[in-house]
Chain A
Amino acid sequence: MGRIGFLLVTLCYSLAEFSAAFAAESNRRVIIYDGTVTEVSVGAQGSKDLWITLTDLTKATKFEVKPEGVCTDKLCFPLPEARKKEFVAEISGGTRFNLSEFARLLKQPVAHDAKHGVWYFGPRPEVQNGFLATLAAPKFTLPDIGGKMHSLADYRGKKVLLITWASW
């Protein structure tokens, strides 16, 4: 083959690997849902919506597609019968779920960065605003400066003056 031929073949393989890596990279998406960050692959779809596998749906959101609807262990959301194909479809040889359309159905706020393939799903309105009906102080768990975790619930039984501040 000769040295130049060898170099050309090597270059072609390197470019091919780079292209494959880039293609794989460009099909990767990051989903942030209920504070959990999950990386998924969307396959080569060219859709503006976020179509993910059923396995990734559960991994990212804890939702599962069932005959009665899209469900967690605590609740189910039925899909509109006439529009099911907008939510569940066979794409690239596999069953995929349209998480962005589901968010629209649930009136969830969604922010998307196309360049980095990141999708941020905010809480459903009834989750965000639920405390307005009960006045139960929304719960949280956060670390102190030493990394020890504290929950608001730890202080039940005491009056709590919750006060926020910032270094800025």
Chain B
Amino acid sequence: MILSVAEDTGGVKAAGPSITAAKPDYPVLIDPEHIVTRLYNLVNVPTAVWINKNGRMVRPPEVAYVDNRYQFLHRLDAGPYIEGIRDWVTNGEKSPFVLSEKELKTRLQAQSTDHALAAAEFGLAEYLYRTNRGKDAVAHYKEAQRLNPDSWNFKRQAWALADAEKDYGTNFLKEVQKLGTKPYYAPRQLPEGKKN
């Protein structure tokens, strides 16, 4: 089953229209405090994690588009990953896309001290924003971004709550252009023979 989570500080107001328009037949939850982002060390959206029947992760957090509408931006083909999901649905633990415990552990990393502090600064910023002190939240959002520059979640959520150019001196397009040839999403490692 699909369990969808909106990582949106704006809560129902921000995420609600998309949920209403989509009319999903699976649960869609709203996470205004970015709890899932922090628990799983996520850095971007859309990101998926595969969890087996026993509550164990069988694939790490990976970019997960349903189609190629933004392929011009991230240069990844959604097809092989969707194929993998279907294979897992059909074949369960026997799917070649399911990683062994040993392999999965090599693909997951402990949160660094800087990234842990970034998450704390982001949490503080979120609290200030939620309690109507958005202007004072900016300094903490900036600190979170400085400590974890790989987190697009920390950047894009903060920009969405302010005037990005005025408060942060940048915007999404400028930051993506700065990447140059560096990928916007971390590349997926799919079974041999599967395109990515």
| Interface, chain A (partner B; CB < 8 A) | 30, 32, 35, 37, 107, 109-113, 115-116, 118, 120-123, 125, 128-129, 131-132, 134-138, 140, 142-145, 150, 152-153, 155-168
Contacts and interface: CB of A to CB of B under 8 A. Distances in A.
Contacts of B70: none
Given A109-B117, A138-B39, A168 B157 contact: yes
A55 to B, nearest CB: 23
A97 B27 CA distance: 43
Contacts of B119: 109, 122
A37 B127 contact: yes
Contacts of B110: 125, 129, 132
Given A113-B124, A122-B123, A142-B30, A159 B92 contact: yes
Interface stretch (B44-52, B174-182, B184-192): B44-52
Give the interface centre of A118, A142, A162 by most chain B CB atoms within 10 Å. A162
Interface string B14-47: 1111111000000111110101110110100111
Interface of B: 1-8, 10, 12, 14-20, 27-31, 33, 35-37, 39-40, 42, 45-57, 64, 85, 88-89, 92, 101, 104-105, 108-111, 113, 116-117, 119-121, 123-124, 127-128, 133, 136, 140, 143, 153, 156-157, 159-160
23 contacts: A32-B124, A109-B116, A113-B140, A120-B124, A125-B111, A142-B29, A142-B35, A145-B20, A155-B3, A157-B53, A159-B52, A160-B3, A160-B50, A161-B2, A162-B36, A162-B51, A163-B49, A163-B64, A164-B48, A165-B6, A166-B153, A167-B160, A168-B8
Contacts of A115: 136
B130 to A, nearest CB: 10
Question: Nearest 7 A-B pairs (CB), nearest first?
Answer: A168-B160, A120-B124, A138-B39, A122-B120, A142-B29, A111-B120, A109-B116
Looking at chain A's contact residues, the main secondary structure is mixed
Nearest to A145: B19
B3 A166 contact: no
B56 A163 contact: no
